[in-house]
Amino acid sequence: MTKAELVPSIAVPVGKIAHDLDAAIQVKVDKHYGSRSWLVVYLNIHDWFGIRQTEAESAIELMKQKHAQSFEAIYVLWKDKVL
């Protein structure tokens, strides 16, 4: 089996990354911390072969923007990046 044949079956859909990140951040939002805190989220989803890297990073940024009012700052650790 070639790399091209493997990719569609193992690639993580961008929607799943956004959904899982949104859920993780929402858990923290629901805790209603006393002051605005920094939030660091380790996104433990592997996107094999860098499939749709740009789209995934855009989805991560959208989730950060969605919850920006709840935290002083939101940082997402994904792969070898801090987003």
pLDDT in tens, 32-65: 988 889 999 998 876 655 657 788 889 899 999 9
- HSE-CB at 57 with a 13 A cutoff on CA atoms is 10
Counted domains in the chain: 1
Question: Do the beta carbons of residue 75 and residue 82 sit within 8 Å?
Answer: yes
pLDDT in tens, 24-35: 999 999 999 888
- Mean pLDDT in the chain? 82
Q: Which domain holds residue 45?
A: 3-82
Per-residue confidence at 1, pLDDT binned at 50, 70, 90? very low
pLDDT of residue 36: 85
Q: What is the pTM of this model?
A: 0.76
